[in-house]
Amino acid sequence: MESILAVYEAECAAELDRQMDSDPSEYVGLVAPSGSVWDIEIGSDGQTATVVHANFDCPGFGTLWCGSGGCDNHIVVGEADYTYFGYRPFSTSDLDGRRFVILPVQGGACSSTGGARGYTAAPCFRVAYWDDKSREFWMDSDHLTKGTPLHD
């Protein structure tokens, strides 16, 4: 978790350095609002993941990692960091006890069964299934990436 937060901290400091002619000693640091990090249950065996929702405030610049389509998100399982851009993920289960992670995204990423394109504020969701045996997520596409750095 610390390494994820350190990346955002460094980006915030670099942005301040680029944009402002200020004394680096005045930098107050990244501000993580309450609820930016939480645990969700992902496995039928009780396996949990930690979610980091990057709605952090970079003082003087706001939330650099969010926009109308959501924020950077990290779902950390052990040493693996799965990432996607969207709204706050959560988990749920079906009647057989299988756990699913719901990945809310902007409405423009979806369409109706009649072919109509969604709009930004429309609800749209992707679903990922944690397989207890293979210890990885399964879903219909590559919207949740493993180990790919978000920031260079």
In a domain, 3, yes or no: no
Predicted confidence (pLDDT) per residue in 96-108, tens digit: 888 899 999 988 8
In a domain, 10, yes or no: no
In a domain, 115, yes or no: yes
In a domain, 1, yes or no: no
**Cα(109)–Cα(125) distance, integer angstroms:** 9
Does residue 83 sit in helix, strand or coil? strand
In a domain, 20, yes or no: no
Q: Decide: pTM greater than 0.75.
A: yes
In a domain, 118, yes or no: yes
Range of the domain at 48: 33-56+65-146
Residue 152 has pLDDT above 60, yes or no: no
Q: How many domains does the chain have?
A: 1
**Cα(43)–Cα(141) distance, integer angstroms:** 20
The pLDDT of 36-54, averaged and rounded, is: 93
